[in-house]
Amino acid sequence: MKKKLIAGNWKMNGSLAANASLLEQVLAGLPADPCIVAVCAPAIYVQQVAGLTQGTAIAVGAQDVSAHDAGAYTGEVSASMLRDLGARYAIVGHSERRQYHGETDALVAIKAQKALAAGVTPVVCVGETLAEREAGRTEEVVRRQLAAVIHLNGHCISEIVVAYEPVWAIGTGKTASPEQAQEVHAVLRAQLQSATPQAERIHILYGGSMNAANAAQLLAEKDIDGGLIGGASLKAVDFLAIIAAASAA
């Protein structure tokens, strides 16, 4: 069985001092044989985190990546720049980017492509809003979001990580039940199976108010291969409890 993956999404939080302190505590508390662990830091801190975690079990990731390779794109950070700084992962298509920055399925697919081309693993986020769930459109929405990425990256789709993040559960304290999450993960797994014979090796993470109290139950589900953790990744004790649950699962 593959190891679970726990990825922290620090969002726009942190400072040089706070990052160093958080990482020191997390590194000190890692279990002997941990699951795969990553922290996705603001781009400006990727180099710092890479330095502080070098030679440890923690990998560094970014939270977004440009859809362009280089050139006149003020404010953008390319996948190869992130790779240069040590990033192994980059979140793409987080619901906050889709919602506040108008990112479309097509743009997210290009971002995943740019990350893959630079040797950075894209963590592709999909998820429905509350209105979409209540309208019975969950499966249609997540399948559409993932289809765009598969369509553009079919030949190397087994290299991605998928994160199912119901928008109504992100930062709200509301978590999908293990059954609700597993139902969607199974849909995503089946979709990946149609695209690649290697679908079983793809990590499908759950994200949305995963915490120390609910992690073990969620991670016990067949198709939940880890978690994308927002708020709880900023507190060493909570992040370590989730890592412990994933390492034991």
171 binds ligand PEP (CB under 6 A): yes
Among 189, 230, 238, 245, binds ligand PEP (CB under 6 A): 230
Contact stretch for ligand PEP (CB under 6 A) within 109-117, 154-162, 222-230, 241-249:
222-230
Nearer to ligand PEP, 116 or 210 (CB): 210
Contact stretch for ligand PEP (CB under 6 A) within 18-26, 132-140, 204-212, 237-245:
204-212
The residue of the chain with the least Cβ separation from ligand PEP equals: 230
Closest approach, Cβ 232 to ligand PEP, in A, equals 6
Among 229, 244, 245, 246, binds ligand PEP (CB under 6 A): 229
- Calculate the dihedral angle through the C-alpha atoms of 17, 19, 23, 24, rounding to the nearest 10 degrees: 0
The answer for residues whose C-beta is within 8 angstroms of residue 74's C-beta and 6 or more apart is none
Among 53, 209, 214, 247, binds ligand PEP (CB under 6 A): 209
**Total residues at interface with ligand PEP (CB under 6 A):** 13
Contact stretch for ligand PEP (CB under 6 A) within 100-108, 145-153, 205-213, 239-247:
205-213
Contact stretch for ligand PEP (CB under 6 A) within 16-24, 165-173, 197-205, 216-224:
165-173
CA distance 100 to 48: 27
Among 58, 170, 181, 192, binds ligand PEP (CB under 6 A): 170
Query: Which residues from 115-134 bind ligand PEP, rule CB under 6 A?
Result: none
Nearer to ligand PEP, 192 or 228 (CB): 228
Nearer to ligand PEP, 31 or 171 (CB): 171
Strands 5-9 and 226-229: parallel
Q: Annotate the chain with DSSP letters as a single string.
A: -PPPEEEEE--S---HHHHHHHHHHHHHH--SS--EEEEE--GGGHHHHHHHHTTSSEEEEES---SSSSSS-TT---HHHHHHHT--EEEES-HHHHHHS---HHHHHHHHHHHHHTT-EEEEEE---HHHHHTT-HHHHHHHHHHHHHHHHGGGGGG-EEEE--GGGTTTS----HHHHHHHHHHHHHHHHHH-TTGGGS-EEEESS--TTTHHHHHTSTT--EEEESGGGGSHHHHHHHHHHHHH-
Among 34, 93, 208, 226, binds ligand PEP (CB under 6 A): 208
- As to burial, measured by CB atoms within 10 angstroms (0-12 exposed, 13-18 middle, 19+ buried), residue 183 is middle
Closest approach, Cβ 71 to ligand PEP, in A, equals 30
Among 133, 159, 231, 242, binds ligand PEP (CB under 6 A): 231
Catalytic residues: 94, 165
**Which residues here bind ligand PEP, judged by CB under 6 A?**
9, 165, 170-171, 207-210, 228-232
